[in-house]
């Protein structure tokens, strides 16, 4: 038994010497430190690596140095959770990033960002992909499958992304139905006093989540309906002479 084991050992030793293993290559950590990286993209122009970090936002690794590239991305309502980043090779210095259920674009490789017009009606954007001709953007999501938005005009000809609307906008609350909290988002075309009121099915006012002077742009409020009973409610946004109303359902 011992002799057989010795012979077998010598056989494997001869094989290993005849066919040496390729030297193992260790992975080199590049950063960023902390949080998990959900998406990466490489700039074909200079080889820079862009990383979307779940707890840090957008980072750029260039010439061995890691830089933070979040200027212009609205993380006011969230921890800076970025899920993916994509480079638009059809346009010089052009890239996109996903954070929560919003998409942002940059015309200077992440130095500054602007928000696309439409939020996706989903919980989370997992990844982004540009069409081969650069004329469409696809988003893989949690709770909503795959979405597509057309980028116009034609790719490579001063392509303009959809931008923030210039009118008063009141989005559908999310989630809906809800229990007991839901988020209500709205966009103001300019700075000014704004009032957000909640009404029950009988038209009686039951809450006023917002009554303040706010800046232009996107705003979000977390409405807590713990003090209300199940049923249909309406929320009305008043800004100047304009008024918008949407319906929501509380299910306890």
Mean local confidence (pLDDT), 207-224: 90
Q: Are residues 88 and 140 in the same domain?
A: yes
Q: Are residues 131 and 175 in the same domain?
A: no
pLDDT given for residue 54 in this prediction: 75
Beta bridge partners of 26: none
Report how far residue 117's alpha carbon sits from residue 187's, in angstroms, rounded to the nearest whole number. 10
97 and 107 Cβ atoms separated by less than 8 Å: no
Per the structure, the complete domain to which residue 185 belongs is given by 169-250
Backbone angles phi, psi at 6, to 5 degrees: -65, -45
229-239 pLDDT, tens per residue?
A: 999 999 999 99
137-163 pLDDT, tens per residue?
A: 898 988 778 888 877 643 333 455 655
Q: Are residues 130 and 194 in the same domain?
A: no
User: Which H/E stretch holds residue 195?
Assistant: strand 192-200
Q: Are residues 110 and 187 in the same domain?
A: no
Q: At residue 36, does pLDDT exceed 70? A: yes
Q: Are residues 43 and 107 in the same domain?
A: yes
Q: Looking at the 3D structure of the chain, how many domains does it have? A: 2
Report how far residue 25's alpha carbon sits from residue 11's, in angstroms, rounded to the nearest whole number. 27
CA angle at 142 for the pair 88 and 32, rounded to the nearest 5°: 55
Report how far residue 132's alpha carbon sits from residue 88's, in angstroms, rounded to the nearest whole number. 10
Decide which of 22 and 212 is more confident: 212
Nearest CA to 151 among 140, 162, 143?
Answer: 162
What is the secondary structure of 14-63 as a DSSP string? HHHHHSPPPPPPPPPP----SS-EEEEEE-TTT--EEEEETTTEEEEEET
Q: Is 248 helix (H, G, I), strand (E, B) or coil?
A: strand
152-197 pLDDT, tens per residue?
A: 643 333 455 655 556 788 989 999 999 999 999 888 888 889 999 9
pTM comes to 0.54
Q: Is 225 helix (H, G, I), strand (E, B) or coil?
A: coil
Q: With respect to residue 164, please indicate whether it lies within any of the assigned structural domains.
A: no
């Amino acid at each position: 038994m011992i002799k057989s084991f010795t012979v077998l050992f010598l056989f494997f030793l001869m094989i290993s010497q005849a066919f040496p293993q390729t030297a193992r290559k260790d992975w080199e950590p590049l950063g960023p430190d902390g949080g998990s990286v959900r998406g990466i993209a490489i700039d074909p122009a200079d080889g820079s690596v862009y990383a979307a970090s779940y707890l840090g936002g957008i980072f750029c690794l260039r010439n061995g140095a890691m830089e933070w590239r979040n200027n212009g991305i609205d993380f006011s309502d969230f921890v800076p959770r970025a899920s993916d980043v994509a480079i638009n090779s059809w346009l010089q210095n052009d890239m996109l990033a996903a954070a929560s259920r919003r998409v942002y674009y940059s015309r200077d490789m992440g130095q500054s960002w602007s928000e696309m017009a439409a939020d996706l009606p989903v919980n989370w954007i997992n990844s982004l992909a540009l069409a081969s001709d650069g004329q469409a953007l696809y988003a893989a999501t949690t709770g909503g499958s795959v979405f597509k938005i057309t980028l116009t005009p034609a790719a490579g000809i001063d392509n303009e992304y959809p931008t923030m609307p210039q009118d008063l906008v009141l989005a559908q609350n999310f989630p809906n139905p809800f229990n007991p909290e839901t988020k209500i988002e709205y966009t103001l075309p300019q700075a000014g006093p704004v009032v957000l009121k909640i009404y029950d099915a009988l038209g009686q006012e039951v809450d006023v989540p917002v009554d303040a002077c706010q800046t232009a742009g996107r705003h979000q409020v977390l409405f807590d309906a713990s003090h209300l009973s199940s049923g249909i409610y309406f929320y009305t946004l008043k800004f100047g002479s304009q008024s918008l109303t949407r319906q929501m359902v509380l299910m306890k």
